[in-house]
Amino acid sequence: MSVQLWTWILVGITFSIYFGIAIWARAGSTKEFYVAGGGVSPLANGMATAADWMSAASFISMAGIISFAGYDGSVYLMGWTGGYVLLALLLAPYLRKFGKFTVPDFIGDRYYSNTARTVAVICALIVSFTYVAGQMRGVGIVFSQFLQVDINIGVIIGMAVVLVFAFLGGMKGITYTQVAQYCVLIFAFMVPAFFISMQMTGNPIPQMGMGGKVEGGTFLLDKLDALHTQLGFNEYTSGTKSTWDVFAITLALMAGTAGLPHVIVRFFTVPKVKDARKSAGLALLFIAILYTTAPAIAVFARTNLIETVDNKSYTEIPQWFKNWEDTGLIAWADKNNDGKIQYVAGNALEGKKPVFTDARGANGERLISNANTSSNELYVDRDIMVLANPEIANLPNWVIALVAAGGLAAALSTAAGLLLVISTSISHDLIKKQIKPDISEKAELMAARIAILVAIIIAGIFGIYPPGFVAAVVALAFGLAAASFFPAIILGIFDKRMNSKGAIAGMIVGITLMLFYMIRYKTGLIGVMDARPASEWWFGTSPEGFGTVAMIINVIVSVVVSRMTAPPPENVQEMVESIRIPSNAGEASSH
């Protein structure tokens, strides 16, 4: 069977399962909609948390960015896994003991202020919409290639699918759908890794294959380093980032992980504090399966890509290249008319998205209008490396289709969790807690569903017009979470003297500073039309790592302002003391 037919079959089966679960788990109360009734087992919650957090960035884009960045890409592995250690030790048990539905709920009650709650809602919306843009982009990429539709149409299809199980089931439906999605995505990620590792190194375990030898007795990483130097790139195993930027990005990703509202809310779905800690540990285990495999897939994909395309005639290039070229995610310009693809360092298109024309070249390639006039050039979108990897390695069609189903599962699971955060922030934290406290449960549930509908339309627009490739967009969301939520939550748990004025000032300064830097140096909308170059970064800090700087400033502002103003009420200080004692924790509540 063809790849497309296999894809329709596997995607159809998995989507049928998701829809079935959504119908079975239809939420009938706000508690079921917000926290799945508070009765999810640690095992199920661990799998759901892993699926919720292992987004399109993890499945589709992380191996892609490591494939291109080499050693520098390790910051994503360290930051995103290290964040779960912080979450398990410093946040999950205490937030579960507090027993609220949402992060803004915690901040509003801990800081005894609706202003703090509103600021937290705004921060949650900014973080969630930034994050969900990457997920919808990932859905569009998968659909565009494997179902042969336009990327924008793929985004719209993904919006409709997420809407069904998020709209019907809320957290209850999303939780059990995410358990199924974790099984699909981890199977889809590991199967091609086993195949390719065996094919290239003779060892079926990809983590060991990456350090193994290829045909001829050369170590795989040594071979890749040699290929890189021959083409003018830095050695794959060398890094170009400064030590400070590596530290800043890693810490921003760690703190961002521990401050992401759609991950934190998962720990309100379990019955007990002990279960929250177990869930975090199990989630880290489930995540580690994929995260220890991603570097191997990156190495396999990079090696196969270079050997397949460099200095090869376009007329003899495999069909997968032309298929991805039709989606606009690979481009080649034949400037010297020799009919051969050259993949070398210094191409004008390197890192720059091509602008396509309607015409075709002499060899049948898509023509691009923004190529250099002197050299042959190749553009490869980082987000396709995992999806194209099985095709590059000539794996069976069903494996290629399986990866498509896994990519969709990863993107849709996280998108659903983020949309629920957006929905609850509006229906619960704004409407129920501030605008209309006497709203009925039925009306609140309807408001939550309407909020999901509006949010998914906005998310789809972000997916159609994303500010960058998936992992970069997601990394910025982590920086925003680190700059806003993480200090407010940590100080709220461990500093009795922290008051509402300090927390509000810190969150506003942190999120504003991060947004300014992100827009200034990533999109160029402030002051100039083009994003500012790396030579102008503050303290040599990249936009992905600036969350660390903004977080530190947030902490300083919070502590200074809180010490210059009145301390919190006595009952709030007693509450802070009580949530540190791991006993007598009730169910998650809305009041």
- Contacts by residues 314-323 (CB-CB < 8 Å, ≥ 24 positions apart): 314/339, 314/340, 314/341, 314/363, 314/364, 314/365, 315/339, 315/363, 315/364, 317/341, 318/391, 318/392, 320/388, 320/391, 320/392, 322/364, 323/145, 323/391
Amino acid at 370: N
Q: Which two tokens stand for residue 130?
A: 């930034």
Report which of 297, 303, 327, 331 is spatially closest to residue 317, judged by C-alpha positions: 331
What kind and span of H or E run contains 377?
strand 377-380
- Domain assignment present for residue 404? The answer is yes
- Domain assignment present for residue 108? The answer is yes
Q: Which two tokens stand for residue 237?
A: 């195993």
Radius of gyration of the chain (CA): 24
CB atoms within 10 A of CB 269: 27
Q: How far is it between the farthest Cα atoms of the chain?
A: 79
The distance in angstroms from the start CA to the end CA of the chain is: 56
Q: Which residues contact 273 (CB under 8 A, 6 or more apart)?
A: 93, 96, 97, 582, 583, 585
What kind and span of H or E run contains 380?
strand 377-380
The predicted pLDDT at position 548 comes to: 93
Alpha-carbon dihedral sign for residues 302, 141, 478, 94:
negative
The predicted pLDDT at position 590 comes to: 47
Instruction: Read off the pLDDT of residues 282-326 as tens digits, 9 standing for 90 and up.
Output: 888 888 888 889 889 888 888 888 888 888 888 888 888 887 887
Work out the angle between the directed axes of helices 114-146 and 319-327 (0-180°, nearest 10): 140
Could you give the CA distance from residue 561 to residue 498 in angstroms, rounded to a whole number? 9
The predicted pLDDT at position 584 comes to: 52
Per residue, the 3-state secondary structure of 328-372, as one string, reads CCEEEECCCCCCEECCCCCCCCCCCCCCEEEEECCCCCEEECCCC
Report in angstroms the alpha-carbon separations of 333 from 204, 228, 363, 365, 412: 37, 21, 10, 8, 35
- Domain assignment present for residue 494? The answer is yes
What kind and span of H or E run contains 379?
strand 377-380
- Domain assignment present for residue 202? The answer is yes
- Domain assignment present for residue 360? The answer is no
Q: Which two tokens stand for residue 434?
A: 């501030």
CB atoms within 10 A of CB 114: 14
**Contact criterion met (CB below 8 Å) for 106 and 268:** no
The predicted pLDDT at position 78 comes to: 84
The predicted pLDDT at position 349 comes to: 56
What kind and span of H or E run contains 313?
strand 312-313
Could you give the CA distance from residue 202 to residue 210 in angstroms, rounded to a whole number? 11
Report in angstroms the alpha-carbon separations of 29 from 441, 446, 450: 7, 10, 15
Q: What is the DSSP letter of 526?
A: S
Instruction: Read off the pLDDT of residues 129-145 as tens digits, 9 standing for 90 and up.
Output: 777 776 777 777 777 76
Could you give the CA distance from residue 16 to residue 167 in angstroms, rounded to a whole number? 16
The predicted pLDDT at position 528 comes to: 46
- Domain assignment present for residue 441? The answer is yes
Looking at residue 495, which CATH number applies to its domain? 1.20.1730.10
The predicted pLDDT at position 591 comes to: 43
- Domain assignment present for residue 99? The answer is yes
Q: Which two tokens stand for residue 387?
A: 């999806």
Bridge pairing between strands 330-333 and 377-380: antiparallel
The predicted pLDDT at position 383 comes to: 73
Could you give the CA distance from residue 133 to residue 161 in angstroms, rounded to a whole number? 16
Could you give the CA distance from residue 203 to residue 323 in angstroms, rounded to a whole number? 30
**Contact criterion met (CB below 8 Å) for 270 and 38:** yes
Rounded (to 5) percent helix, strand, coil in the chain: 70, 5, 25
Q: What is the pLDDT along the chain (591 residues), one digit of tens a residue?
A: 777 788 888 888 888 887 787 777 665 556 656 655 556 788 888 888 888 777 766 777 778 888 887 888 888 888 878 887 787 777 777 777 776 667 788 888 889 888 888 888 888 888 877 777 767 777 777 777 666 677 778 788 877 877 776 666 566 777 777 888 888 888 888 988 998 899 888 888 888 888 888 887 888 888 888 888 887 777 888 877 888 888 998 998 888 887 777 777 777 777 777 777 788 788 888 888 888 898 898 888 888 888 888 888 888 888 888 878 877 778 887 777 777 887 777 665 565 667 777 777 777 777 777 666 556 677 777 777 887 888 888 888 888 888 888 877 777 777 777 777 777 778 777 787 778 777 877 787 788 778 888 888 887 887 777 655 455 566 677 888 889 888 998 998 888 899 999 999 999 999 999 888 887 777 655 544 455 666 778 888 888 889 999 999 999 999 999 999 999 998 888 888 887 765 554 444 444
Alpha-carbon dihedral sign for residues 361, 365, 366, 367:
negative
**Contact criterion met (CB below 8 Å) for 115 and 500:** yes
Q: What is the DSSP letter of 393?
A: T
What range does the domain containing 506 cover? 3-305+388-580
- Domain assignment present for residue 24? The answer is yes
Instruction: Read off the pLDDT of residues 69-98 as tens digits, 9 standing for 90 and up.
Output: 788 888 888 887 888 778 777 777 777 777
Report which of 402, 208, 410 is spatially closest to residue 299, judged by C-alpha positions: 208
Could you give the CA distance from residue 106 to residue 576 in angstroms, rounded to a whole number? 11
CB atoms within 10 A of CB 414: 30
Q: Count of domains in the chain?
A: 1
